[in-house]
Amino acid sequence: MENIRSAFTVDVEDGISLAMRDAFNVRTEQTNRVVYLTESILELLQEKETRATFFVLGQVAEKFPFLVKKISNFGHEVGVHGYNHYRFFEMSREQALEELSNAKNIIENLIGQEVFGHRAPAFSITPDTKWGLDVIANAGFKYDSSIMPIKGKRYGWPGFPKNIHLLKTPSGASLIEVPMTTVPFLGREIPVCGGGYLRLFPYSITKRAFEKITPERPVILYIHPYELDTERYPDYYFDELKKAGFFKREKMKSMWINRKTVYPKVSKILENYTFDTMINLVNQYTKEKLSDADIPFKLKV
């Protein structure tokens, strides 16, 4: 791609309520931490004069509609991250379509414009859930960014192309896929430039990945607001943590390793590399790689 830029993306979800549900099977309200942590990211992006794509959870949009409007008013793209943060292997096709459609409608009504992009929770589009690509297309999305082209335990699609490309879903619908960023290491692909990998890896590793990838294709960087959260969680979280088994407690504690390094790393990345919204990368791809006859839809910024 000419004039290659990378995409800065944020998966907007509330870390506390998701940890309570997924780790402890306890339902709690969305907390306002997702608001001020996301606002912290917005302020940093404004300072660095960078536009980004925010994939927003439907529950967050419903609880904090002003936050979604603020993201859009700041000139960023808003996409969908599901409604309940259910992974595709936890849903039927019908449930998945309802999950995506509900979130898409809520967000579109809030920002007053069409939503083009989707990212599945936990990158849960895999060879076993490839039917989800049909659901994503049927829900009206024009592009998806849910596939991690690795062989992993929790997620991954080994051998999936690394570049942005137009694909045909299992039923024959058209969808543009923007895969997550990986690099080869000791004969296998490993994820970089986002989430826990950004938090755990030293900045030098992230920098090396950018230098290797950006001459060839865009880097897709992703973060979650909760990764910037260094304050103590509420007491009810620790009450449940005390009841958990040893391995679960250690796993949950590991989520806090290097959190204080995330904001400085992101700030440095924004200073050294150029980012754009996902929709602009997709538009760039369609302009350069597809003929007018091949483009199944026209996207507007």
Domain ranges (residues) in the chain:
6-289
Average pLDDT over residues 171-183: 94
Across 9-13, 150-154, 214-218, which has the greatest mean pLDDT? 9-13
Burial of 263 (0-12, 13-18, 19+ CB in 10 A): middle
Look at residue 264 and tell me whether its pLDDT is greater than 50: yes
217-260 pLDDT per residue, tens: 999 999 999 999 999 999 999 999 999 999 999 999 999 999 99
Look at residue 281 and tell me whether its pLDDT is greater than 80: yes
Per-residue confidence band for 301, with pLDDT thresholds at 50, 70 and 90 = very low
SS3 254: helix
75-112 pLDDT per residue, tens: 999 999 999 999 999 999 999 999 999 999 999 999 99
Look at residue 2 and tell me whether its pLDDT is greater than 60: no
In the DSSP assignment, the letter for residue 30 is: P
Look at residue 50 and tell me whether its pLDDT is greater than 90: yes
Average pLDDT over residues 206-221: 93
Residue 97 is which amino acid?
A: L
- The backbone torsions φ and ψ at residue 138, rounded to the nearest 5 degrees and listed phi first, read -65, -25
Question: Which residues contact residue 150 at a Cβ distance below 8 angstroms, ignoring those fewer than 6 apart?
Answer: 156, 157, 158, 182, 188, 189, 190, 191
CATH entry, 6-289, from 3.30.365.10, 3.40.718.10, 3.40.1440.10, 3.20.20.370: 3.20.20.370
Contact 141, 148 (CB under 8 A): no
Residues in the chain: 301
**Reported pTM:** 0.94
Bridging pattern class, strands 182-185 and 188-191: antiparallel
145-157 pLDDT per residue, tens: 999 999 988 899 9
Q: d(Cα 262, Cα 165) in Å, to the nearest integer? A: 30
Per-residue confidence band for 186, with pLDDT thresholds at 50, 70 and 90 = confident
Contact 222, 6 (CB under 8 A): no
The per-residue pLDDT of the chain, averaged, comes to: 93
